[in-house]
Structure 1
């Protein structure tokens, strides 16, 4: 089991990349070192929004399938199998697979891993928390979502962190309205998180999504007035707060993906893809 003597995660063994049928359309970046520059904007018409909704639903339902498989004794690589098979069996491409060289179809971020954990032979044990992040690409658009699960019986601190991170996402969504700057989202999240003394990760943010996996639009999860893009009806983006039980300083593993809290404190995350409407926001990655 790839953990050290303190129970903290260490890199595990990564299995071979799983194949995707040639009949499934790939994002343009697959097989390349990086995506092509994107300048298509973040506003979408009704037909495009419906396509993003369909991709988003595949991603969300795939997470539900993975969640049903989570239990003590399963490996994160086995969870990748569930995610990969669900997404591809529904005619979609798992967006992380081949994105800037990422080797798997889902990110599995356990305990102190903030984000971008690579599925491997790590065995989940009772009391772990694990974030499952899945994006599906279909009809030329991506839908992106994640949820954090408690494995077996978690501590009160872990359960509270998970539930309060879910609520932090809800608070961020409620702040969405046309005419407002995107920084109000982070302000709402940070005010809520600080009630419990949680750390709010700054270095990883929400983003524009749809025609591009990451459009360049930044959605902060903290009070950041420098991000002053104004929300408009038809704008599509993610909100995905990452909260910790301790500090927010981070380390990145040699794989150049796995991000952990430096103090090894637990961290949780939830994410939705949404569209700005005249009345606020509509979540596209419903479950």
Structure 2
């Protein structure tokens, strides 16, 4: 069932998304060599709690942490651990915030120290593809338009678009209909209408699109062990131009 949001509900999601965006900025200050991924997780949980929210992921289907932290060839759903970041790593930080009854969801992939140019390019182009997809999150377009725009942007560089994992609607639940694939055909799929809130989240691999699940039951990794990138925003479908509720501005400020 597709649940369209009222303006009052969108305002509450916007408040959730603002806390989430600030969380990402706070985490960005600490993504550096020697920092453990568990430390990043504790920073996020404390920040969310201090701002009156709760972590969307903690307790979700038994997940025990506030962040999904996916390193290098891990695409998504990585589990925070005692692993200390090293130069050359790329680390995807995926976070959700539940605030005043509504969820927001956002992800950003950081390079750590000196990263090969081909990996830097992967991150840049995956981030670009997120905004290419968002351009189509407008009333009258279709789900396939969003996915097609993402897919065509990254496949021109020879990258693999993950198909087993997709974006989604969100609101009172973390995952709502519809699914938002990062591939597709123009003019196909659900027709988008004003007030639909979506998490658009390209997951793009340096090599093959194929993935495997680790024995921990959570972590999804590239089959060829090559790096992956993941960027995500919470957006509202609008007439003419999508409204992006999360922002990377706090991350940019922290990094600069």
TM-score, normalization: structure 1?
A: 0.84
- Displacement of 1:122 in angstroms is 1.3
Give yes or no for the alignment of 1:146 onto 2:107.
yes
1:170 pairs, out of 109, 118, 131, with: 131
- 8 Å contact kept, 2:145–2:187: no
Give aligned pairs, total.
248
- 8 Å contact kept, 1:144–1:272: yes
Q: Deviations over 1:18-60 (max 9, x none)?
A: xxxxxxxxxxxxxxxxxxxxx5x33111110010001011111
Q: Deviations over 1:93-124 (max 9, x none)?
A: 10000000001000101100000001011111
Alignment partners' CA distance in 2, 1:194 and 1:68: 32
Query: What's the C-alpha RMSD, in Å, of the aligned pairs?
Result: 1.3
In structure 2, relative to structure 1, the CA distance for the partners of 1:129 and 1:74 (3 Å cut) is same
Q: Which has the higher contact order (CA 8 A, sep 6+)?
A: 2
1:264-283 maps to which residues of 2 (within 5 A)?
A: 264-283=225-244
Alignment partners' CA distance in 2, 1:64 and 1:47: 26
Alignment partners' CA distance in 2, 1:193 and 1:260: 19
Unaligned runs of 5+ in 1: 1-38
1:61 pairs, out of 3, 7, 22, with: 22
Aligned residue for 1:217, secondary structure, equals strand
Give yes or no for the alignment of 1:196 onto 2:152.
no
Aligned residue for 2:184, secondary structure, equals coil
1:210 pairs, out of 171, 175, 185, with: 171
1:76 pairs, out of 1, 14, 37, with: 37
- 8 Å contact kept, 1:218–1:227: no
Unaligned runs of 5+ in 2: 250-256
Q: Which has the larger radius of gyration?
A: 1
Give yes or no for the alignment of 1:160 onto 2:121.
yes
- 8 Å contact kept, 2:57–2:96: yes
Higher helix share: 2
TM-score, normalization: structure 2?
A: 0.94
In structure 2, relative to structure 1, the CA distance for the partners of 1:85 and 1:182 (3 Å cut) is same
Q: Deviations over 1:57-101 (max 9, x none)?
A: 111110111111010111110110111111111010100000000
